[in-house]
Structure 1
Amino acid sequence: MDSVSTVPARAVAPLLEDFSLEMTGKDVPRLEEARATIPPGTRINVTFLGNEDLGMRLNAARAVKRFGFVPVPHISARRLRSRESLEEFLEALRAEGLADNVFVVGGDPATPEGPYDDSLAVIRSGLLQKYGVRHVGMSGYPEGHPAITDPVLWSAIETKAAVLGEQRLPGGVITQFGFDIDPVLTWVEAVRQRGIGLPVRIGVPGPAGVRRLMGYAARFGVGTSASIAKKYGLSLTNLMGTAGPDRFIRALAERYDVQRHGEVKLHFYTFGGLKATSEWVAGFRTKDLTPVPLPRHAGS
């Protein structure tokens, strides 16, 4: 029997309160389909991808607010073509009451498309406060980044936390998703040891097909060795199967120590499966941690 399967419900329940979700600009129909299973007031991050435009991003953020949730629009620094394009986006958010919370990330392009090399440059610009931003999220990488060295990553998060403090802007960290709790908790403890007290949301893959999970893991440089896959419950011999984060969350509940790790919550990467993820969370909470069958529409 898995050693974490005996974790009591009371230990896991706090982790499943005030969780957050992620969606793309194209996911508005999926959000509408899932809205009844998502708790009111849930924070929902809206991506800033290269195949999305301003209208799509705004439409998604509007939908999040309209359905009673808290929109957290992403700002991808390297995708911004100019200072004016950043101001245009922020002004559009402010005009519709969507600018309170943003998540600033460097973004995928190897070469910046405009004046912002990284998320720190956006934070330092002063434009976030100018347009009414009240909370700023940033990324964390417990298993590193395929294109950025660990010393650079640590310097970046320390500097961003310090600059937000100087600007008196509350902030938080959302980690990249992973399959193994060991590097995640080691990283969170290191964050606290460096004097960074920002709340941390641990990135968790929502229920999805094994093939899709492995594909995203390879894309983002997340470890996918056989031992890690086994810990998470992925079947490498059945790539057509599905997997949920049961073991990961139980392991987190068993080992999480507020004295060492500070404030920790969960952030679910839905991979388009907003309804599958929200139903999974609801089922996991109400069935006292007994194994929960994945919804048929979780996809592969």
Structure 2
Amino acid sequence: MALLNFRRKTAQTGPGVSAQVEALLQGYSIEVMPRTAEKVADFRDLLPAGTRVYIAHIDGTPIEDMVATARRLREEGYRVMPHFPARIIADKATLADWIARYQGEAGVDQALLLAGGVAQPHGDFDNSMQLLDTGLFDKAGFRRLHVAGHPEGNRDIDPDGTDANVSAALRWKQDFSERTDAQMAIATQFCFEAKPVIAWAEALREAGVTLPIHIGVAGPAKLQTLIRFAIACGVGPSLKVLQKRAMDVTKLVLPYEPDDFIAELAAHRAAHPDFNITNVHFFPLGGIKASAGWAIEHGGRSAIPAAAPQFQKEAT
């Protein structure tokens, strides 16, 4: 009964939901890990049917756990996009094995390709371009391939802060999308300040990178939790948004929510229909339920969980 009341309260469709924000949240995605997914009894209680769910592959996680999580999510009705971190994949044979397992055991046909969060490669691959160049995803019939984006730069790739290597890599991936039939998009690191993100997205388009951008958003979480994750993940100048909030004792104990960040992006998109930020991708740093709850509250009808109609019918 409590779950039903939560849905009724949050799945708004009236004046309390901004039409601009609701439009931006349509088709949002969310990220999980095997250990966080285990804490959710049924994703259909939280996410709309067909939501794209990324599965982050942290170094040391057995591929068996990744595939089992992918299979479970597919069975519950979700589009699954596992991470393929280049630097933790030993060689081409390992990559082929992972692709075959995901496809054969879980029906996966899409992937996020990224360098990965380790400083030194474990094997033959250093970056996502090398993964694309193997041709294995195309051979296996993967229809959608996403790549990583960094609105505030990536010091692992560009230690000098110039973003030259990151920009060159995105231009290479743009070219790859044009010479193949892969459906591609850029999924970004989470940020906290909208104006620099908007400027970055517009600069990409001016440079000829027209891939759709799925902007990374930190879901609701304790401020201390977000600051810890932001530092660990290399979030750049927008970290000052959290630091400023931490100095306000009236806000220090309140959880951060991405209302202002999302609202500003949504307003810009509404005023510029060709804006290349097309989707929101949630990093549920405060828990999957917290991010899903925020999306339900602000996303209108498109964000209602898959199981909600069943509960509403039982209540009548």
> What interval of TM-score do these two structures reach, taking the shorter chain for normalisation?
0.7 to 0.9
Deviations 1:110-135 (A, max 9, x none): 11111111000000110111122111
Gaps of 5+ in 1: 1-5, 288-300
Counterpart Cα distance in 2 of 1:40 and 1:129: 27
C-alpha distance 235-279 of structure 1, shift in aligned 2 (>3 A): farther
Q: Secondary structure at the match of 1:96?
A: helix
Q: Secondary structure at the match of 1:30?
A: coil
| 1:218 equivalent in structure 2 | 231
Counterpart Cα distance in 1 of 2:279 and 2:121: 32
Counterpart Cα distance in 2 of 1:123 and 1:258: 32
C-alpha distance 236-89 of structure 1, shift in aligned 2 (>3 A): farther
Higher relative contact order, structure no. (Cα contacts within 8 Å, ≥ 6 residues apart): 2
| 1:277 equivalent in structure 2 | 291
How far the C-alpha of 1:175 sits from its partner, in A, is 0.9
Counterpart Cα distance in 2 of 1:227 and 1:111: 30
| 2:108 equivalent in structure 1 | 99
Matched-pair contact (CA < 8 Å) for 2:99–2:140: yes
Q: Which amino acid aligns with 1:262?
A: N
Q: Which amino acid aligns with 1:136?
A: L
How far the C-alpha of 1:167 sits from its partner, in A, is 2.2
Counterpart Cα distance in 2 of 1:286 and 1:140: 28
C-alpha distance 220-28 of structure 1, shift in aligned 2 (>3 A): closer
Question: Are 2:73 and 1:59 equivalent residues in the alignment?
Answer: no
Q: Secondary structure at the match of 2:282?
A: strand
Q: Which amino acid aligns with 1:154?
A: S
Which residues in structure 2 correspond to 1:70-219 (within 5 Å)?
A: 70-149=79-158, 150-219=163-232
| 2:51 equivalent in structure 1 | 42
| 2:280 equivalent in structure 1 | 266
How far the C-alpha of 1:8 sits from its partner, in A, is 7.6
How far the C-alpha of 1:82 sits from its partner, in A, is 1.6
Question: TM-score, normalising length from structure 2?
Answer: 0.82
Q: Secondary structure at the match of 1:284?
A: helix
How far the C-alpha of 1:258 sits from its partner, in A, is 3.7
C-alpha distance 36-8 of structure 1, shift in aligned 2 (>3 A): closer
Of residues 38, 48, 68, the one that matches 1:29 is: 38
Matched-pair contact (CA < 8 Å) for 1:204–1:268: yes
How far the C-alpha of 1:51 sits from its partner, in A, is 2.8
Aligned residues: 281
C-alpha distance 224-164 of structure 1, shift in aligned 2 (>3 A): closer
How far the C-alpha of 1:59 sits from its partner, in A, is 1.0
Counterpart Cα distance in 2 of 1:142 and 1:226: 13
Gaps of 5+ in 2: 1-14, 302-316
| 2:28 equivalent in structure 1 | 19
Q: Which amino acid aligns with 1:280?
A: W
Counterpart Cα distance in 1 of 2:294 and 2:287: 10
Q: Secondary structure at the match of 2:60?
A: coil
| 2:5 equivalent in structure 1 | none
Counterpart Cα distance in 2 of 1:220 and 1:129: 30
- The Cα RMSD (Å) is 2.3
Deviations 1:221-263 (A, max 9, x none): 21367852378x6666465531111111111122224445235
Q: Secondary structure at the match of 1:203?
A: strand
Q: Name the stretch that deviates more: 253-262 or 37-46.
A: 253-262
